[in-house]
């Protein structure tokens, strides 16, 4: 794009932009002749935000490659057109009558984007259920089904950097949008005419309603019934942080209603704050993000630390460990997933009314395999899906007679009840607290509980490797053309290419290499110029001794990690 073309495109966008601040932002960039301003302008007009995982996500700012009122207006107009063009049978009425649930977090301009979404939908004659205040994403997912809506829109960027915001779409079943709906709406955005021609209803339109707190109480009743506090919970001490996000108030209500003691809250991180002032990156997986909570736990001698990410759909758990730096360590998503799976399936197995052959446990093709062994021992079904809860939440829908029992992915996402068809960090927190209280009642900890799983099923060590690359397509093509016959001196026993899909797995750009007692899964990142590898080593714990098995697994993992890095480097 030449400089003149870039300036012409910017001027045309600015003329149509409905927001005065965004127009002024572009005018300032156009008036600045510096190389930095030119590069910034070029990036903003390099394309437009495209649908990724369940919707749009990007930095807040002016221009088509940013999150702003213009991009929200266009996306919502396309959504409105898609809804009204569908089969009108949505719970006995049309999509316009069933309406769309709208929620938002506390990120920059989230409230503005949510209101614009409501006004565009109402302008198209579609009812809107506008959730009040800052609320977590899983509450929106619950509300879509509870209100029997045709769709849901959550304005959030989850655990992305502080500069970002997003537009996340849910379907009538309360789960994230999947193909072909996402591609149809994406195509519809390209067909939207001038933004000035899109009808906008006033904020006080009779089509825009605001559900009362009864909906919130219904959500709390549902998740608290899944994991009520056992009597021993009175002695459980835990630190809680929502990391400046929106889960805090609802989580405290859930802890109290379920019967847990009041947590030791990290006050500096409790109030929603889009600047995320105490963390470099608002993702609980990132090193350092839990430092304040861990310091507080050391001072109060807590039993565990739990943290939600900014939109409340993920859960991080940390436990005391004398061998770890600072005396505490964070559990991995695979470890928490195995603990929750064993706890929930074990409880179902003790229920005489539960048919274990119908119960379904779910994880993903990049998650660890320990849950599969736990499910088999419990007599339950187990299946792997592609990454993402849009697939996990729907896994039971593809299997006659299957009942969703539990699902997780390694990126700290857990679904502990099918009533919320998405990952939910609040209900998962209740479940992990219930498990910790039960363990404490017999003199054990979460670490002891996990040790018991690995003594029984073997050490399952997982790790990730990310390699920056602008040529991920070429790397995947090279691996397909010449798959390795061995890794770290061990024979590759099977290669699975997920391109093309199967009856229960959509096509995906993923390769899996199986070894005896090990596995490497490789895929390009969907959001960054990098390629990711997910590694697992399984080491039997003979005679119940874990230390030797863990040492052997760690040594094997180091060799496998080095070999995988070399493989990706070519």
Read off the DSSP letter of residue 176.
B
What integer pLDDT is reported at residue 527 of this predicted model? 66
Same fold, 47-211 and 459-569: no
Cα–Cα distances in Å, from 130 out to 14, 111, 467? 29, 11, 42
Q: What is the pLDDT of residues 210-220, one digit of tens each?
A: 998 899 999 99
Please say if the pLDDT value at position 87 is more than 70: no
What is the pLDDT at residue 544?
Answer: 64
User: 531-567: per-residue pLDDT in tens?
Assistant: 999 999 999 988 768 999 999 999 999 999 999 999 9
Model confidence band, residue 470 (pLDDT cutoffs 50, 70, 90): confident
CA separation, residue 235 to residues 113, 238, 248, 339, 426 (Å):
43, 10, 22, 20, 20
- Structure token digits, residue 111: 């409230």
With respect to CATH, is domain 334-455 assigned 3.90.1170.50? no
Mean pLDDT for the chain overall: 94
* Confidence class for position 89, pLDDT limits 50, 70, 90: very low
Q: Is the pLDDT of residue 398 over 90?
A: no
Q: Which residues of 217-246 are buried (b: 16+ CB within 10 A; e: fewer)?
A: eebbeebbebbebbeebeebebbbbbbbbb
What is the predicted pLDDT for the residue at 149? 97
Question: What number is the average pLDDT over the span 127-147?
Answer: 97
The pLDDT score that the predictor gives to residue 93 is 57
Residues 356-359: contacts with CB under 8 Å, at least 24 apart: 356/380, 357/381, 358/401, 358/402, 358/403, 359/402, 359/403, 359/405
- Check residues 67 and 53 and name the one with the higher pLDDT: 67
Q: Residue 413: what pLDDT?
A: 98
- CATH 3.40.120.10 given to domain 221-333: yes
The whole-number pLDDT of residue 542 equals 80
Least reliable range by pLDDT among 88-92, 284-288, 406-410:
88-92
Residue 472 reports pLDDT greater than 50: yes
Tokens standing for residue 508: 């995906």
Question: Using CA of residue 242, residue 529, residue 460, residue 561, what is the dihedral sign?
Answer: negative
> d(Cα 245, Cα 426) in Å, to the nearest integer?
12
- Residue 482's pLDDT band (cuts 50, 70, 90): very high
Q: What are the angstrom distances between the C-alpha of 157 and each of 22, 93, 166, 532?
A: 20, 32, 5, 21
Q: Does the 47-211 domain belong in CATH 3.40.50.300?
A: no
In terms of Cα–Cα distance, which of 362, 341, 386, 358 is closest to 496? 386
Using CA atoms, how far residue 205 sits from 130, 131, 262, 522, in Å, is 12, 15, 41, 49
Topology (CATH level 3) of domain 459-569: TATA-Binding Protein (3.30.310)
Q: Would you state the pLDDT for residue 300?
A: 94
Per-residue pLDDT at 13 exceeds 50: yes
Instruction: Confirm if 68 and 61 have CB atoms less than 8 A apart.
Output: yes
Q: Where are the domains of the chain?
A: 47-211, 221-333, 334-455, 459-569
Mean pLDDT over 32-55 rounds to: 90
Euclidean distance between CA atoms 368 and 363, whole angstroms = 8
130 CB-contact burial (10 Å; exposed 0-12 / middle 13-18 / buried 19+) = buried
- pTM of this structure: 0.95
Q: Are 310 and 161 a contacting pair, CB within 8 Å?
A: no
Task: Tell me how far apart the alpha carbons of residues 462 and 554 are, in angstroms, rounded to a whole number.
Answer: 10
pLDDT band at 90 (very low <50, low <70, confident <90, very high): very low
Please write the tens of the pLDDT for every residue from 187-227: 999 999 999 999 999 999 999 999 988 999 999 999 999 99
Q: 507 catalytic, yes or no?
A: no
- What is the residue whose two structure tokens read 């997912």? 141
CA distance 95 to 128: 11
Chain length of the chain: 570
Which one-letter DSSP state was computed for residue 159? T
CA–CA separation, 453 and 281 (whole Å): 32
**Looking at residue 88, what is its pLDDT?**
52
Q: What's the rounded Cα separation, in Å, for the pair 416 and 223?
A: 9
Separation of alpha carbons 323 and 112, rounded Å: 48
- Which tokens sit at 120? 């565009």
Q: What are phi and psi of 170, to 5 degrees?
A: -125, 150
Q: What is the pLDDT of residues 320-338, one digit of tens each?
A: 999 999 999 999 999 999 9
pLDDT digits 0-9 by tens, 150-178:
999 999 999 999 999 999 999 999 999 99
Residue 295 has pLDDT above 50, yes or no: yes
Question: What's the 3-state SS for 285-304?
Answer: CCCCCCHHHHHHHHHHCCCE
Residue 433 scores a pLDDT above 60: yes
Catalytic position from the list 28, 34, 110, 158: 158
Tokens of 485: 């016959």
Structure tokens at 57: 């996500």
Residue 414 Cα distances to 64, 103, 429, angstroms: 34, 21, 9
């Amino acid at each position: 794009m030449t400089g003149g073309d870039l300036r012409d495109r910017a001027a045309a966008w600015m003329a149509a932009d409905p927001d005065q601040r965004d127009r002024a932002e572009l005018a300032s960039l156009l008036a600045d002749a510096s190389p930095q301003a030119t590069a910034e302008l070029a990036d903003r007009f390099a394309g437009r935000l495209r649908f990724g995982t369940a919707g749009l996500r990007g930095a807040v700012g002016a221009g088509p490659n940013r999150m702003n009122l213009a991009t929200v207006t266009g996306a919502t107009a396309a959504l409105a057109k898609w809804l009204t063009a569908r089969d009108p049978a949505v719970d006995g009425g049309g999509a316009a009558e069933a309406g769309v649930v709208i929620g938002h977090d506390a990120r920059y301009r989230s409230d503005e984007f949510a209101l614009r979404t409501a006004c565009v939908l109402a302008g198209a004659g579609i009812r809107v259920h506008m959730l009040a205040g800052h609320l977590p994403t899983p509450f929106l997912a619950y509300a879509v089904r509870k209100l029997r809506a045709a769709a849901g829109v959550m304005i959030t960027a989850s655990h992305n950097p502080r500069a970002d915001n997003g537009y996340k779409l849910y379907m009538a079943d309360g789960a994230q949008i999947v193909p072909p709906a996402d591609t149809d709406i994406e195509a519809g955005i390209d067909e939207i005419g001038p933004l000035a021609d899109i009808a906008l209803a006033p904020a006080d339109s009779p089509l825009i309603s605001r559900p009362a707190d009864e909906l919130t109480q219904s959500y709390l009743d549902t998740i608290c019934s899944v994991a009520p506090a056992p009597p021993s919970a009175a002695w459980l001490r835990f630190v809680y942080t929502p990391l400046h996000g929106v889960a805090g108030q609802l989580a405290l209500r859930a802890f109290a209603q379920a019967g847990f003691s009041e947590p030791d809250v990290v006050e500096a991180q409790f109030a929603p704050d889009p600047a995320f002032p105490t963390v470099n990156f608002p993702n609980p997986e990132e090193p350092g993000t839990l430092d304040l909570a861990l310091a507080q736990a050391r001072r109060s001698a807590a039993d565990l630390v739990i943290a939600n990410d900014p939109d409340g759909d993920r859960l991080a758990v940390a436990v005391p460990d004398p061998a770890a730096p600072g005396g505490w360590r964070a559990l991995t998503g695979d470890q928490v997933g195995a603990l929750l799976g064993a706890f929930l399936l074990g409880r179902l197995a003790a229920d005489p009314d539960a048919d274990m052959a119908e119960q379904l446990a779910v994880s993903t093709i990049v998650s660890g395999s320990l849950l599969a062994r736990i499910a088999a021992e419990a007599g339950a079904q187990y299946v792997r899906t592609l990454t993402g809860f849009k697939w996990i939440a729907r896994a039971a829908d593809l299997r006659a007679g299957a009942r969703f029992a539990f699902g997780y992915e390694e990126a700290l996402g857990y679904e502990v009840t099918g009533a919320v068809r998405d990952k939910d960090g609040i209900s998962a927190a209740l479940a992990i607290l219930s498990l910790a209280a039960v363990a404490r009642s017999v003199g054990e900890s979460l670490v002891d509980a996990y040790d018991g799983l690995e003594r029984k099923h073997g050490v399952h060590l997982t790790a990730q490797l990310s390699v920056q690359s602008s040529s991920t397509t070429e790397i995947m093509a090279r691996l397909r053309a010449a798959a390795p016959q061995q890794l770290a001196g061990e024979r590759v026993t099977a290669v699975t290419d997920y391109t093309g899909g199967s009856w229960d797995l959509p096509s995906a750009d993923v390769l899996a290499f199986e070894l005896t007692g090990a596995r490497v899964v490789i895929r390009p990142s969907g959001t960054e110029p990098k390629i990711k590898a997910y590694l697992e080593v399984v080491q039997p714990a003979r005679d119940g001794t874990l230390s030797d098995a863990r040492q052997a697994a760690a040594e094997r993992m180091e060799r496998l990690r080095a070999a995988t890095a070399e493989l990706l480097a070519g």
